[in-house]
Structure formats: structure tokens, C-alpha cells
Chain A
């Protein structure tokens, strides 16, 4: 359990450091979502499952979707059909 916690913490650091370094905003949002997912597992390990559920739903789900929608609306997403 402790080893898993250290692994997750290292993953958090890597995600946090990597997120601003990518040039494509889409990749940044995906890395941010991964950060939230790792944090959700960490909350569950720290015995606060209610926070874990909320973090997974809000951090990884809803805010990621809102970022994707914003990127689509400002035409910053490659691969979607822009007319």
C-alpha cells in the first residue's frame, strides 16, 4: 500500500510538471485529467472515498469535458471538423 502511494505521488509530480510543458493544449488537458485520476485514487487510499468520488467525477470528468468544449470552440483542437 505504501509503495503504491509513493508511486501515485511520483505520478502526481510528473503530471504536474509535464502539463505546462506541452505545446498542444489538448495534450495538456489530457495530462491534467490524468493528474485528477491519480489524485482520486490517492484520496481513496487516504480513506476519504467521498472526496475520491467527487474528484473523479469533477476533476477527471466534468472539468476535462469543459476544457475540451472550450478548445473546440476556439478551434484549438486538431482532428475535429472546422468549417
Chain B
């Protein structure tokens, strides 16, 4: 195998089977069993002793730590400047600059949105990546493989699903039927309106994800899967992050201010598409957590 093409060698090395340089196999050494293991009785006595010691100290330690934390926080609150005073340290030239020039520099009429998506867009990009990676790692942990035999918990889950399909929860379904249009509409409103009023990607995305969760809980995953399957889910999630990366890349490459031409400014600059991208990523994250926790797949 070592005499194969470079592609084969690369695959073997990536899979961890063989070290390419000196072509030796990795051998995991099994740890030496020590002969001085305690007998089960000794072990139990020792563990019970440790547990009793721990339980004696635990309440005292908890109270002390909580009291210290409360004292630190209270001290900070007492020393904080009063809310809304004119000579507070936050009222300096930085915030004045942002308030005065956000619209012409970023094209967003809402200063908070301009701050989150443009001035500190890199920060928001990192957060979106964190959400993306969080769903990916939860998927790695919780998703069951296709060929894997079912264990008892999955059989129970399947039975519960069948039970739910035969006897649907009338209260949940009727209230969901009533609420879901308004939730989705509100989510769209918050998403699209983010650049001119409070809201934007994170808020709208969570509301959108909440609506999807309510739909899945009330009508089952099969019905949701008709228009939002696993492939669609992955596509939307990846598309959101890539769109955000691309738009912010444009921002950086053009020196952050080069894109505010007339048309873009009238559209709200790049804020609107970036808002939508963040919203898609957040909504998919929220719904993906629910789906993975509830039944182990999306």
C-alpha cells in the first residue's frame, strides 16, 4: 500500500493508519494494568468516605461562592454611573461618530444594525461560524447512522411518534394553526426591517426557528419534512453562512466603504442581505438543535 500513488498515501495518512515519512504503523500501546488495584469492597468504602466528605463541604462551598459572586456584582452595580446621565463615560466622541455617520458610511438607517453588521461585522461573522459549528458538532454527537441498529430509546421514540400521529394533541394543533402564520410573519418583519428598526438577523432568526419548532411539535416532523427536508436544511444553513462570508468579504476587499453607491444605499446597503444571511443561519441553528435533541436527526 505504501507504494501507491500520492493520493493513496495521502488518504492513508489522513485516516491515521500510517505515518508517511518513515512508513511505520501506529501501534496503540495498551496501558499496563497495575496489580495494586483495590478490591471492590475497599473501593466502595473509600468512595463512600469521599462522598461523605464532599457532601459535608458542598453546601458551605456553594454558599461562600454565591455570596462572593453576589458581593462582587452588587459592588459593581453600586459603583456604576447612573443610567442616562450626560457625563457618563459612554458619551464620548466614539458614540457621537457612530450616531452621526452610520447612515452615510454603512447605509443602515439604524445605528445598532450598522454597528452589528458593518462596523463589527467581523465579530458577527465569527458568531455565525460558532453557531454553524455548534450545529455540526451536535449533529456529530447525536445523529444516528442509517445502518445502525435501533436501541430501546429509539424504539420508544418511534412508538411515541406513532401514538402522536394517531391521537394528535388537539389543543396544540389548533393553537399552532392559529399562531404559526403570525409568528412567521413577525419573523419576516423583524428580519426585513432590521436595518431601519430594532431587530435584525439574530432576533428574526430565533423567532423563525421558534415557528419551525412549533410546527414540528404540533404536526410532526414528517409534515415539516415535505417542504423542509434534511437536504434543504443543510443547503439553507450553508447558503446563509457562505452568503454572509461573501458579502462581508466584498466589504473588506473594497475597504469597507466602497459599496455604498446610490442604489445600494437606497436598499439599505449590504445590511439587508447580511441580515437575511444571519437570520437563516440562526433559524437553522435553533431548529437543528430541536430536531437533533428530539429525534436524533434533522
A and B assemble together: yes
Task: List A residues at the B interface (Cβ < 8 Å).
Answer: 48-50, 53-54, 57-58, 61-62, 65-66, 69-70, 73, 81-83
Contact of A54 among B203, B293, B294 (CB under 8 A): B203
CB nearest neighbor in B for A50: B198
Check B114 for interface membership: any CB of A closer than 8 A. Answer: no
Check B202 for interface membership: any CB of A closer than 8 A. Answer: yes
CB nearest neighbor in B for A49: B198
**Is B199 a contact of A53 with CB atoms below 8 Å?**
yes
Contact of A58 among B163, B206, B290 (CB under 8 A): B206
**Is B209 a contact of A62 with CB atoms below 8 Å?**
yes
**Is A49 a contact of B160 with CB atoms below 8 Å?**
no
Task: List B residues at the A interface (Cβ < 8 Å).
Answer: 112, 153, 156, 159-160, 163, 190, 198-200, 202-203, 206-207, 209-210, 213, 217, 286, 289-290, 293-294
Which residues on the B side are within 8 Å of A81 (C-beta)?
A: 160, 163
Cβ of B274 to closest chain A Cβ, rounded Å: 15
Enumerate 27 A-B pairs (CB-CB under 8 Å) in ascending A order.
A48-B198, A49-B199, A50-B112, A50-B200, A50-B202, A53-B198, A53-B203, A53-B206, A53-B207, A54-B202, A54-B203, A57-B206, A57-B209, A57-B210, A58-B286, A62-B286, A62-B289, A62-B290, A65-B217, A66-B290, A66-B293, A69-B294, A73-B153, A81-B160, A81-B163, A82-B156, A83-B159
Which residues on the A side are within 8 Å of B159 (C-beta)?
A: 83
Bound state CA distance, A69 and B198, in angstroms? 31
**Is A70 a contact of B207 with CB atoms below 8 Å?**
no
Which residues on the B side are within 8 Å of A82 (C-beta)?
A: 156
Cβ of B195 to closest chain A Cβ, rounded Å: 12
**Is A57 a contact of B160 with CB atoms below 8 Å?**
no
Bound state CA distance, A69 and B291, in angstroms? 10
Q: A49-B199, A50-B112, A50-B198 known; A69 and B206 CB under 8 Å?
A: no
Cβ of B155 to closest chain A Cβ, rounded Å: 8
Bound state CA distance, A40 and B96, in angstroms? 28
CB nearest neighbor in B for A58: B206
* Known A58-B206, A66-B293; 20 more pairs at CB < 8 Å: A50-B198, A50-B199, A50-B202, A53-B190, A53-B199, A53-B203, A53-B207, A54-B206, A57-B206, A58-B286, A61-B210, A61-B213, A62-B209, A62-B210, A62-B213, A65-B213, A69-B293, A81-B160, A81-B163, A83-B156
Q: A57-B210, A61-B210 known; A69 and B202 CB under 8 Å?
A: no
CB nearest neighbor in A for B204: A53
Contact of B293 among A49, A53, A70 (CB under 8 A): A70
Bound state CA distance, A18 and B163, in angstroms? 36
Q: Max chain B CB contacts within 10 Å: which of A53, A57, A81?
A: A57
Cβ of B246 to closest chain A Cβ, rounded Å: 25
**Is A65 a contact of B202 with CB atoms below 8 Å?**
no
